[in-house]
Amino acid sequence: MTWLSHIRHASKITHSRWQAVSTQLRKFSLSNQIHSEVRVRFAPSPTGHLHLGGLRTALYNFLFAKSNNGKFILRIEDTDQARLVPQAARKLEDILNWSNIPPDESPLLSGPRGPYVQSERIELYQKHIQTLLENGSAYKCFCTDTRLDLLRKDALRRRETPKYDNRCRSLSFAKIEEFEKQGRAHCIRFKLEDITEPFNDLVYGPILYNVAQQEGDPVLLKSDGFPTYHFANVVDDHLMEVTHVLRGVEWQISTPKHLLLYKAFGWEPPQFGHLPLIKNRDGTKLSKRQGDLHIERLRAQGYSPEAIINFVTDIGGGFEDRDQCMTDDCGGTD
């Protein structure tokens, strides 16, 4: 059965199905919560159309917020200016509203923790990067693209994973002043530390990944003044008082890096839960490049939001009976 035939088979979402998913989401621990209100966010990049996987992430965040009387936030992460697609951000919010999972705070709605577009928050990132420079958690890196490319090629030649060698971490103040007087371009990197304790993933349980042994010091602020995903993500989640981060499992490996950033700032981190990937029948990851699975295209083909949401719920809800579609009359089947 193809993806589209599965969606055709999924006719109507029901109150009982929503309750079932909400009940499963309530299993996420609410302990160690520093805010009285649950706040979650969906933070897509406006680089194309919203895909089924992205819609499922938004849905689970929405359901978790509503099942705990919390807030569902839409934040647009557009710091990768080279890949922006015109009007994509507005279309993302339109699709969420059409899908009946509207945000409580967003670029269009605004809210108390805005702005909700990262390119409009550049001054905040530049202010917070100074905190890390002053407390010694970050440093200026003057390595050129040519040097970084040579490092990458050398690692590949030796069949190793390319990573930065942290060369500029040990630069003296005198050398930094010299480079700055010469007008050399620089980025700002974060000093990774060894991690010996696992973090608790709300879905997968304890996860231990010593990022400092696997990666070089990551860039936080690029030479053009724009933040990287990792830095902006942590700053925004803190300032927007996000209590739970529910995102795809592909970001699980980045969580230790984010937790180190929270530690460097002296901030209490949110709780993290990572959602398993949606896969094709052959076990490969469902790709954004599978154009027939863009929500806009499904909408244009006449599929109802109820059918699409029912399908996304079914493939991600852990239900044993995958062949039944709920109706909205007391949870009966078609």
Which one of 163, 191, 222, 288 is the catalytic residue? 288
Number of H helices, E strands in the chain: 12, 9
288 tagged catalytic: yes
Residue 19: the pLDDT is: 52
Which of the residues in the chain have pLDDT under 70? Answer: 1-35, 279-292, 316-334
Neighbouring residues of 76: CB distance < 8 A, sequence distance ≥ 6: 43, 44, 45, 46, 89, 92, 107, 116, 117, 118
What is the DSSP secondary structure assignment for residue 287, as one 8-state letter?
P
What is the DSSP secondary structure assignment for residue 12, as one 8-state letter?
-
Both tokens of 311, joined, read: 């399908």
Closest alpha carbon to 254 in 308, 203, 305, 192: 192
Q: Residues 22-37, buried b or exposed e (16+ Cβ, 10 A)?
A: eebbeebeeeeeeeee
Closest alpha carbon to 223 in 261, 184, 257, 191: 184
Distance CA 34, CA 155 (A): 43
Residue 327: the pLDDT is: 40
Distance CA 313, CA 56 (A): 7
Residue 281: the pLDDT is: 63
Residue 292: the pLDDT is: 53
Closest alpha carbon to 212 in 194, 227, 185, 199: 194
Residues 84/118, Cβ–Cβ less than 8 Å: no
Residue 326: the pLDDT is: 42
Residue 15: the pLDDT is: 45
Other CB atoms within a 10 A radius of the CB of residue 59 amount to 23
Residues 53/99, Cβ–Cβ less than 8 Å: no
| Cα four-point dihedral sign 129, 130, 136, 140 | positive
Both tokens of 79, joined, read: 């710091």
Residue 23: the pLDDT is: 54
Report the Cα 261 to chain-centroid distance in Å: 16
Where is 140: in which H helix or E strand?
Answer: strand 138-141
Residue 311: the pLDDT is: 82
